[in-house]
Amino acid sequence: MHAELLDPSDLHIQRCAQALQSGELVAFPTETVFGLGAAVSQLGAIEGIFKAKGRPSEHPLIAHVAPGADLTGWVAELTPTMQKLMNAFWPGPLTLVVPKGERMPFEVTGGQNSVGIRCPSHPVAIELLKATGVPVAAPSANRFGKVSPTRASHVLAELGDRIPFILDGDVPEVGIESTIVSLLDDQPAILRPGAITAEQIEAVLGVPVKSHGEVSKTPNANPRVSGALEKHYSPDAKVWVLPASELAALELQDKTLCVGWTDEFLAQADALREKFGEVLVEALSDKPGEVAKALYATLRQADELACRQVLFEKPGQTPVWEAVNDRLKRASA
């Protein structure tokens, strides 16, 4: 098998929708990362996702729906809390974990009675979901545990020999996976940080939201969700997350990529390059959203350049950096 890379024309979107309806896999862009999709009504295709990725079957998938889709039967009920969050953040990078409906297969939920569901904002994803007519289960379109793809070329390089179709589209605006919020208990809880913060959700709901930091202290008390493994989003290169003050003392022996945004870090990285030679320096924006957007492509670049390690500048410890910190913590585990 060799994946067919398709431009996002109306004809190709219809073709990919028909492929999903007939039980085939399609990789497609969202505003977060590229997803590997199967129609939730096609159990053989859902099994194919796990096989293509090398992903354990107990790891739940996120069901993607089109704007305005009828959720009857896919979720147990549409609660006022769900409706508030959907009105505020859908389409967008927010996944809601809620009790599943009778139509949602356990193969999608990892055997759990809850399901993660979201409505992406990428125009190609929206048109594909509309044309497909049923929710599409889609984890990131990469091999299990590896760096998520933010380009069609990433998907082609990693899964091109395992799936039939890759639908291209604009580069994802967000660049990291969606925020996952659980609505299973009285207090909403962040199970995976993303571009939408706990503070934004609190502002909409008018109630406290349990932060990801609080949730991570009791991991076994929460439903299993995507992207929660201790080691995840990892390139072949070893990832280190360091403040600028620690660079000067390093003794580098392997080809290294230094990635940062402050003048201090970049100056220290340049000094390492002068001292050790095989050091590459990548300067990013100092804005959390821009770092998130570039993060996965930068980690993949380290492998493409045959670097043995990546020295990534330690981000701030404020809420706006939480999602980037989470991905770097898992990549460097």
DSSP 192-258: E--SS-HHHHHHHHSS--B-HHHHTTSGGGS---TT-SSS-SB-SSEEEEE-GGGTTT----S-EEE
For β-strands 136-137 and 309-313, DSSP reports them as: unpaired
Q: What is the pLDDT along the chain (333 residues), one digit of tens a residue?
A: 789 999 999 999 999 999 999 999 999 999 999 999 999 999 999 999 999 999 988 899 999 999 999 999 999 999 999 999 999 999 999 999 999 999 999 999 999 999 999 999 999 999 999 999 999 999 999 999 899 999 999 999 999 999 999 999 999 999 999 999 999 999 999 999 999 999 999 999 999 999 888 887 776 667 777 666 676 788 999 999 999 999 999 999 999 999 999 999 999 999 999 999 899 999 999 999 999 999 999 999 999 999 999 999 999 999 999 999 999 999 998
Q: Is residue 152 part of a domain?
A: yes
Q: What's the chain's Rg over C-alpha atoms?
A: 20
Are 206 and 253 within one domain? no
Q: Is residue 228 part of a domain?
A: no
pLDDT value, residue 232: 77
Between helix 198-205 and helix 80-89 the angle, nearest 10°, is 120
Are 180 and 301 within one domain? no
Residue 38, SS3 per DSSP: strand
The domain that contains 74 carries what CATH number? 3.90.870.10
Are 205 and 242 within one domain? no
Are 265 and 213 within one domain? no
Q: How many domains are contained in the chain?
A: 2
Are 101 and 16 within one domain? yes
Domain holding 320, by residue range, is: 238-331
Q: Which of 221, 246, 275 is the last residue of a domain?
A: 221
> What distance in Å separates the CA atoms of residue 187 and residue 221, rounded to the nearest whole number?
13
Q: Is residue 259 part of a domain?
A: yes
The domain that contains 243 carries what CATH number? 3.40.50.11030
Are 150 and 181 within one domain? yes
Report CA-CA distances (Å) from 170 to 33, 121, 152, 163: 11, 12, 9, 20
Are 24 and 109 within one domain? yes
Q: Which of 192, 221, 250 is the last residue of a domain?
A: 221
Are 274 and 154 within one domain? no
Are 246 and 324 within one domain? yes
Are 261 and 172 within one domain? no
Are 209 and 105 within one domain? yes
> What distance in Å separates the CA atoms of residue 323 and residue 330, rounded to the nearest whole number?
11
**Global pTM value:** 0.94
